[in-house]
Structure 1
C-alpha cells in the first residue's frame, strides 16, 4: 500500500510501533552531581531555608516516615 504520501512508513508504524529513544547528551545528571529540582536538595527537604511551605512539607515527610515505626 505505497502511495505518494509515504504509505510504507505508515504501514511500518502500524505493524511495528513507534520507538522513542533518548539522545546522547553526555553524562547523566547524577554523574554530574547536579540536583534536578529544588525538592531534592537537603535544605529544602528539611525546611531549613526558611520557606513556610518547605517547613510544612518537611513536617509531613517526618510524620509519614515515623508513621509505621
Structure 2
C-alpha cells in the first residue's frame, strides 16, 4: 500500500502502461504473500491439532492401561 501511495504522490513520469504493470506486479506479490500466510496458518493449525490428538491418546492410554 505504501508503494501505491508513493506512486500516486511522486512526480514520476511513468506511462499508464507502466503504472498498470507496476500495480499488477504489486497485486501478484500480495497474492503470493496471502497464499503463504494461508499455507502457514493451515500448517500450524494442523500441527496443533495433531499434538492435541497425541496428548489425548496418551492420556486415555494412561487411564485405561496405566502406561503408554
TM-score, with length taken from structure 1: 0.30
TM-score, with length taken from structure 2: 0.30
Q: Which has the higher contact order (CA 8 A, sep 6+)?
A: 2
Structure in which a larger fraction of residues adopt helix:
2
